[in-house]
Amino acid sequence: MSNHTQELLEESRQGEATLLNAITASGNRKLYLESYGCQMNFSDSEIVASILSEAGYDTTKNLYESDVVLLNTCAIRENAEQRVRQRLKDFQGLKKSNPRLVVGVLGCMAERLKEKFLEEEKLVDLVAGPDAYRALPDLIAEVETGQKAMNVLLSLEETYADINPVRMGSNGVSAFISIMRGCDNMCSFCVVPFTRGRERSRDPESIVKEAQELFDNGFREVTLLGQNVDSYLFYGGGPKKDFKQLSEEEKGRAVNFAGLLAKVAAVSPLLRVRFTTSNPGDMTDEVLETMAAWPNICKYIHLPVQSGNSDVLHRMNRGYDRPTYMNRIAAIRRIMPDCAISTDIITGFCGETEEEHKDTLSLMQEVGYDYAYMFQYSERPRTLAARKFKDDVAQEEKNRRLKEIIQIQSEWSLKRNQEVLGQTVEVLVEGVSKKSEEDLFGRTSQYKVVVFPKEQFKPGDYVQVKVHDCTSATLLGKALTS
């Protein structure tokens, strides 16, 4: 037994009597949720909490008082899977002291490793895929009869549009709104199409309604979520089709992503609107022009490139080449000169040569990203890359190349922040700074973090802050009083 597991057991025993009294007093059963991976997973956890709330479960942050423990998982990278597997082993210790505890896995790992978790390793009692969350009350009931329970069926229709998410751990200022599910892009390194199914878009009116309710409840920023938001298309029919394939009647009522952005922005000029993630092959000038036309649509785009070499992009099956990507960068700079841009980069993909790696470095220098999420390639089972290519870049080479990428990005992040020195920026306050309770932090439209003295301001306020210093990650300033 690991030291961590022993600590969990000891804490559980020490608090057992008190926690039992608390559970009895509340009347409801307790749900403990942990989320791993992307923002979509965290958004899905809020949907799960809402579904189980209707079934009589209160969400708790205290693991040791829980009746049901659910891990919403990510399968994008191997280290994420290892973290989840270790966490599940820790929970086995808790189950020994509380045999009635139900442990389940949700999300992408649930779909990919269903039999392994349930039968081979016996780490969980239930498994539910991303489209099966409505079935969770029944799955839990099945477990309580002594059975294992599983539902990983993928849907062509499920969007959870009618579910009002429970805002778990919310700061009360910003929230996620899922606008679509699944993905039709078959990037060779990615498991998402296999774990989340085909792409389908949510009714725009339900999205606008959710944004309005959030604003009415004091939220001042929403982030529209999708695996590829630029391909959002709702026309009141079945699974998404290309706009050109729609009938004239369908085209008349269709809403694309640019139209959706405008609808959400119209909720209130005081509601900031963000979105993620964009695909370079699908982002249109119409979207950029809509962003430029609405002051409350944030001037920030996350535009994953993954590699700066066209041959590598072809092996990745990304659907664009370097010139196409740079065309989109040029369009952003032309239409919104004040727009910040971030990206994703994978180094050490199958067959990547030193020259191909240098193409990524040169693209980074050419674009000058504000931020970047940088990773070594990690082979994922069932993907095209795993079946077709050899993971043949040595680990030491991956390490070296990643260090070079990080170094370039660190320099650019600092440079982009230094460009703001002396300027006055509008900051939406999100909370108290981690380093000092006398300071607040918030973000600009460009997603830059700003720290400044608290004074009379509070979360949810828009504050004009003059920037006087910075690091590569943070702007430092002082609020203007008039």
Contacts 24+ apart (CB under 8 A), 328-334: 328/280, 328/283, 328/303, 329/303, 329/367, 331/285, 331/288, 332/288, 332/301, 332/303
Residue-level pLDDT at 247: 78
Q: Give the sheet arrangement for strand 340-347, strand by strand.
A: 300-302, 340-347, 371-376
Is the previous residue joined to 24 through a cis bond, with omega within 30 degrees of 0? no
pTM of the model: 0.84
Cα-based distances in Å from 243 to 193, 253, 335:
21, 11, 24
Give the CA angle between residues 360, 199, 246 to the nearest 5°.
110
| Radius of gyration from C-alpha coordinates of the chain | 23
What per-residue confidence (pLDDT) applies to 95?
A: 84
Domain coordinates in residue numbering, the chain: 3-151, 170-298, 302-419, 424-479
CA 136 vs. chain centroid, Å, equals 22
Contact 233, 254 (CB under 8 A): yes
Question: Which pLDDT tens digit goes with each residue over 73-121?
Answer: 876 666 677 788 888 888 888 888 888 899 999 988 777 777 777 765 6
Reported residue count of the chain is 482
Return the axis-axis angle of helices 322-335 and 285-293, rounded to nearest 10°: 20
Per-residue pLDDT, 99: 84
Distance CA 438, CA 353 (A): 50
Phi, psi of 442 (to 5 degrees): -160, -170
Architecture per CATH, domain 3-151, reads as 3-Layer(aba) Sandwich (3.40)
Q: Say how far apart CA 23 and CA 241 lie, in whole Å.
A: 49
Burial 282-312 (b: 16+ CB within 10 A, else e): bbeeebbebbbeeebbbbbbbbbbbbbbbbb
b (16+ CB within 10 A) / e for 88-108: bebbbbbeeeeeebbbbbbbb
229 and 258 Cβ atoms separated by less than 8 Å = no
Same fold yes or no, 3-151 and 170-298: no
Number of Cβ within a 10 Å radius of residue 249: 10
What pLDDT was estimated at residue 380?
A: 85
Q: Which CATH number fits domain 170-298: 3.40.50.300, 3.20.20.140, 3.30.750.210, 3.30.9.30?
A: 3.30.750.210
Q: Assign domain 424-479 to its CATH superfamily.
A: Nucleic acid-binding proteins (2.40.50.140)
Asked whether the beta carbons of 259 and 287 are under 8 A apart, the reply is no
Q: Which of 317, 315, 320 is nearest to 349 (CA)?
A: 315
Inter-residue contact 260 to 209 (CB < 8 Å): no
Per-residue pLDDT of the chain (482 residues; tens, 9 = 90+): 344 434 433 443 333 333 333 333 345 899 999 888 777 888 889 999 999 999 999 999 888 889 999 998 876 666 677 788 888 888 888 888 888 899 999 988 777 777 777 765 678 899 998 888 999 999 999 999 988 889 888 887 888 888 888 887 778 999 999 999 988 888 999 888 777 888 899 999 999 999 999 999 999 999 999 989 999 999 887 666 677 777 777 778 899 999 999 999 999 999 999 999 999 999 999 999 999 999 999 999 999 999 999 999 999 999 999 999 999 999 999 999 999 999 999 999 999 999 999 999 999 999 999 999 999 999 988 899 999 999 999 999 999 999 999 999 999 999 999 999 999 999 999 999 999 999 999 999 999 999 999 999 999 999 999 999 999 999 999 999 75
d(CA 441, CA 420): 16
State the chain's mean pLDDT as an integer: 88
Report which secondary-structure segment, H or E, holds 210.
Answer: helix 204-216
Structure tokens at 195: 């774990």
CATH number of 302-419: 3.40.50.720, 3.30.750.200, 3.40.50.880, 3.40.718.10?
3.30.750.200
Burial class of residue 362 (count of CB atoms within 10 Å of its CB; 0-12, 13-18, 19+): middle
Residue 367 CB neighbours (<10 A): 20
Question: Residue 241's pLDDT is what?
Answer: 66
Residue type at 237 in one-letter notation: G
pLDDT in tens, 286-336: 999 999 999 999 999 999 999 999 999 999 999 999 999 999 999 999 999
DSSP for 57-124, written as a single string:
EEE-S-GGG-SEEEEEE--SSHHHHHHHHHHHHHHHHHHHH-TT-EEEEEHHHHHHSHHIIIIIS---
Q: How far is CA 438 from the centre of its chain?
A: 30
Which region, left, alpha or beta, applies to residue 247 given φ > 0 means left and ψ of -120 to 50 means alpha? beta
